[in-house]
Amino acid sequence: MNFNLKYLIKKIVPKKVTKTISDTFQYYSFKGNYKNFEEIKINLTKYDSKKVIERVTNAFKISKNNSFLIDRDGELINTKNQNLQLLSIMRDLLNKHKLNCVVDFGGSLANFYRNNMNYLKMYNIKWIVIDNKNICILGKKLIKDNNIVFLENLKKTKRYLKLRRLKPNYFLFGSSIQYLKNFEEILKEILDLNVEVIIIDRQPVLRSKSTKYSIQKTPPWAGNLNYAVKLYNSRSLINLFNKYKYYLDKIFNAFGNKFLDGDYKSYIFKKK
CB 103 within 8 A of CB 158: no
pTM of structure? 0.91
DSSP H or E stretch at residue 67 = none
Question: Residue 233 is which amino acid?
Answer: N
Taking alpha carbons only, the member of 175, 104, 180 closest to residue 136 is 104
- Whether the CA torsion 224, 136, 39, 243 is positive or negative: it is negative
State residue 13's pLDDT score.
64
Phi first, then psi: give them for residue 23, nearest 5 degrees. Answer: -65, -40
28/189 Cα distance (integer angstroms): 34
State residue 219's pLDDT score.
84
For the chain, which ranges sit under pLDDT 70?
A: 1-15, 17-18, 79-80
State residue 18's pLDDT score.
67
User: For the chain, how far is it from start to end, CA to CA, in angstroms?
Assistant: 46
State residue 75's pLDDT score.
86
Question: Residue 150 is which amino acid?
Answer: F
State residue 1's pLDDT score.
47
3-state SS assignment for residue 157 = helix
